[in-house]
Amino acid sequence: MAGGRRRTGTIFIIIALILIIALAAFYFIFFRNQAASPLPMPNEGGSQVQQNLVPVVITVQYIPRGAIITADVLQTVELPAEKVPQNLYFQDINDVIGMRAKYDLEAQIFLTRNLVTDSSPGSKTAFQIDPGKAAIAVPINATTGVNFAPQPGDHVMIIACMTFIDVDPTFQSRLPNYTATVMAPGATETGVTASTTITSGGALSSQGRFELDTAFNQPVYVLPSETGRPRLVCQTVVQDAAVLRLGKFPINTSDNPDQAQTQQTVAQPQEGAEPPPDPTSITLVVTPQDAVMMYYLMQSGANINLALRSAGDNQQIVTEPVTMQFVMDQRNIALPAKLPYAFDTRINELIYPAYPRTTSPVVTNPQQPQP
């Protein structure tokens, strides 16, 4: 009985192995034939499908903003007509040649009509200003212009220093006011007057105040010894402004863009020649509101100074306004005590050191030693 059961189990095992081997052979042969046989093309065994293709203009290399577009930077590719919106892309290269790029265009970009503009009106400089920004010229010298270090593409901070005085809110004039004597109409020592007479001593009659003299315990009238001193404050008014140009722009009197580009090239001075004069202005790109504020500060007589920022640093920096009290508190400056002794040399004002501009002598013949 036990021997019969063992033979039956062996037979089942052999049958299972045969089935597994048969299934594996079928799977291998079937999928190998599927991989070897190519997929049927859409046009095999039937009529060929005709696609309606249209040309579209693309860029083949980088085009900087404001540059004139030429044929060598363009090519056309064909796309299905149903994938191309009507009147969105340029389909003919000749329609784009001579236009200017509104933005920096990378290679392999489909040209749409809002990426380019006609090159005839306006100046090339306007294309260097980002949308939503404006350019304004600011007068500078070597001190306020960071020794003329900023160049196009740099970013600067704009610091303004202003002075404030006390004024009469009604007269809007500097305090203190002048006092005057008012004589009513009537008899006087010199005769009879029919109108009110107002007499003032001008600057000699500045309005003072009463103070109590501690020695005599009597009130005395105190007058100012000079006009009120203005109070100075300095603060960053523009945190990030892009430099568009240092110095004046050349005047373009030609309609030839190539000649205009040549005119904008600054000639390099020859060796030993007199260096070009220092620029007197710098053109900055700011927001329209900052442009209005900058013009107001220039008209109000504020002192404007530039500070060159690190390359690639465009973060917003919050600074505190600097006054005399701020400097003394932050830098631990003590008010000098009134001592019973002093330096023998009297100093009434501080003189800022100034260094005259020196130029190298013009070398006429480098082979001969100069005397």
pLDDT (average), residues 209-226: 91
Q: What is the pTM of this model?
A: 0.62
Looking at residue 323, what is its pLDDT? Answer: 96
Decide if 72 is inside a domain. Answer: yes
CATH, residue 84? 3.90.1210.10
The whole-angstrom separation of Cα 101 and Cα 66 is: 5
Same domain? For 96 and 245 the reply is no
Decide if 245 is inside a domain. Answer: yes
Same domain? For 241 and 158 the reply is yes
Looking at residue 181, what is its pLDDT? Answer: 87
User: Strands 134-139, 281-286: parallel, antiparallel or unpaired by DSSP?
Assistant: antiparallel
Decide if 234 is inside a domain. Answer: yes
Is residue 277 pLDDT above 60, yes or no? Answer: yes
Looking at residue 266, what is its pLDDT? Answer: 41
Residues in CB range of 224: below 8 A, 6 or more apart? 176, 206, 208
Same domain? For 138 and 247 the reply is yes
Same domain? For 315 and 247 the reply is yes
Looking at residue 122, what is its pLDDT? Answer: 66
Decide if 44 is inside a domain. Answer: no
Same domain? For 286 and 158 the reply is yes
Q: Which of the residue ranges 32-41, 109-118, 163-172, 277-286 would you say has the lowest mean pLDDT?
A: 32-41
pLDDT (average), residues 89-96: 91
Same domain? For 217 and 310 the reply is no
Looking at residue 306, what is its pLDDT? Answer: 97
Same domain? For 143 and 209 the reply is no
Is residue 151 pLDDT above 90, yes or no? Answer: yes
User: Over the stretch 29-64, which tens digit does the pLDDT of each residue have?
Assistant: 766 655 444 544 555 444 445 678 889 999 999 998
Cα-based distances in Å from 182 to 199, 206, 223, 245, 356: 6, 16, 20, 61, 57
Decide if 5 is inside a domain. Answer: no
Q: What is the domain extent for residue 85?
A: 53-124
Number of domains in the chain: 3
Same domain? For 217 and 235 the reply is no
